[in-house]
């Protein structure tokens, strides 16, 4: 009975082994993963510094009276071009003008009295003390006229320089308090752009360096200027330094207060091995790429790596019993790379790849070492050095 049971168990085990072997024999290899690829190639690369800046007028001011009063005249419209010294807003000044006329009359009388005293002194008809008194009285009356003249001018809001006026909402009859801004005047034939850079970049910037601005308001237009000043002090809190650039603005397209993307060419042009940014897989342990090679070449490279590692075998990448991959089939091998900077859709590679290496640029999520792939480059990821937004 025991012998019969053992024979039955052996028969069942043999049948299972035969079924497994038949299943493995009929197993088909999984379909290759479809990916796009790009070849690593050297390109001339201009090192650049980038920052976000704020546009500031070459000269700009928010104008206000330094005393309170009632507005009687508004001599401009919103957006007008104004000239230096032009009266923009007038406060009621009838009392001050009347006072000025009174002081001018007193000064005129003092002038007549002084002239008469000078003639009398010449013939010694009066004493020197009387003459000095009339001279002092004339100077006092003239100073009073000058003071009152200033009081009259304080009731006039004048343009401190030529430029464009902003929006004014004040109308005649409005009572304004001192210090209340009534209108802004901005001179924008040229503008300044203020931005900050880290202290580590100070060695690569200098006054006179070319600066390029790009604004979202004009995505297809670049504005060129030059670096005009570098703050001699580094901010102790942020370790950044403030930098000023001057940009000509003949078309008045740049408006104070706008933000701009600032690009500075820093250093000489160099050559970098470049890839599309989509080709890089970023992991906590480093940046990697998938290099596409033939299976035979991948096995050869793996064997050489085993020799360098002292005979340590690589981990298996396919299940045991799986059909072998032909030697001319394309497979991927994961490689670590070192990157150094981004330009548009491209990333610079400084270590880990050779020129001409074919690298997977999309479809990496389904890949691992040794996986078979098929290349389909009908639709490729973006790979432009200076990408521009497109409307669809």
Q: Give the per-residue pLDDT at 232.
A: 92
The answer to whether 65 and 157 have CB atoms below 8 angstroms apart is yes
Say how far apart CA 109 and CA 102 lie, in whole Å: 11
Q: What is the pTM of this model?
A: 0.63
Q: Give the per-residue pLDDT at 385.
A: 73
* Band of residue 26 on the pLDDT scale cut at 50, 70, 90: low
What count of other Cβ atoms lies within 10 Å of the Cβ of residue 385? 13
Q: What share of the chain is helix, strand, coil (3-state, %, to 5)?
A: 25, 40, 35
Q: Give the per-residue pLDDT at 109.
A: 95
- What are 164-180's pLDDT values in tens digits? 999 999 999 999 999 99
The answer to whether 354 and 13 have CB atoms below 8 angstroms apart is no
Q: Give the per-residue pLDDT at 241.
A: 94
Over 90: is that where the pLDDT of 360 sits? yes
Q: Averaged over 99-127, what is the pLDDT?
A: 92
For residue 214, the surrounding DSSP H or E stretch is strand 210-215
Over 70: is that where the pLDDT of 388 sits? no
Q: Based on DSSP, count helices (H) and strands (E) in the chain, helices before strands.
A: 4, 21
- What are 242-268's pLDDT values in tens digits? 999 999 998 889 999 999 999 998 877
């Amino acid at each position: 009975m025991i012998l019969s049971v053992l024979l039955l168990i052996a028969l069942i085990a043999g049948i299972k082994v035969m079924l497994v072997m038949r299943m493995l024999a009929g197993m088909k290899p999984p379909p290759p993963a479809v990916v796009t690829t790009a070849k690593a190639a050297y390109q001339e690369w201009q090192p650049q510094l980038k920052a976000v800046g704020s546009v500031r007028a070459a000269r700009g001011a928010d104008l206000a009276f330094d005393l309170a009063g009632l507005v009687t005249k508004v001599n401009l419209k919103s957006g007008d071009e104004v000239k230096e010294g032009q009266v923009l807003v007038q406060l009621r000044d009838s009392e001050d003008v009347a006072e000025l006329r009174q002081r001018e009359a007193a000064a005129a009388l003092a002038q007549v009295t002084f002239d008469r005293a000078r003639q009398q002194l010449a013939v010694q008809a009066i004493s020197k003390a009387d003459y000095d008194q009339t001279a002092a009285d004339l100077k006092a009356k003239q100073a009073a006229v000058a003071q009152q003249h200033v009081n009259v001018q304080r009731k006039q809001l004048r343009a401190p320089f030529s430029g464009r006026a902003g929006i004014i909402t004040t109308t005649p009859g409005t009572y304004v308090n001192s210090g209340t801004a009534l209108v802004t005047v901005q001179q924008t034939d040229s503008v300044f752009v203020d931005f900050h850079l880290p202290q580590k970049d100070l060695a690569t910037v200098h006054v006179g360096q070319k600066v390029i601005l790009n604004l979202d308001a004009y995505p297809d237009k670049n504005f060129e200027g030059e670096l005009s000043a570098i703050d001699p002090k580094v901010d102790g809190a942020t370790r950044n330094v403030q930098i000023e650039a001057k940009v000509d603005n003949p078309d008045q397209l740049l408006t104070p207060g706008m933000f701009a993307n600032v690009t500075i060419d820093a250093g000489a042009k160099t050559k970098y091995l470049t890839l599309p940014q989509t080709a890089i897989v970023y992991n906590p342990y480093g940046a990697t790429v998938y290099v596409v090679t033939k299976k035979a070449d991948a096995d050869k490279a793996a064997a050489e790596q085993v020799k360098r590692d002292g005979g340590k075998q690589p981990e298996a990448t396919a299940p045991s019993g799986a059909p072998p991959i032909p030697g001319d089939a394309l497979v991927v091998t994961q490689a670590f790379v070192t990157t150094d900077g981004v330009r548009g859709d491209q990333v610079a590679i400084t270590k880990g790849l050779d020129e001409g290496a074919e690298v997977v640029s999309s479809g990496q999520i389904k890949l691992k070492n040794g996986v078979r792939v098929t290349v389909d480059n009908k639709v490729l990821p973006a790979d432009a050095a200076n990408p521009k937004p497109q409307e669809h």
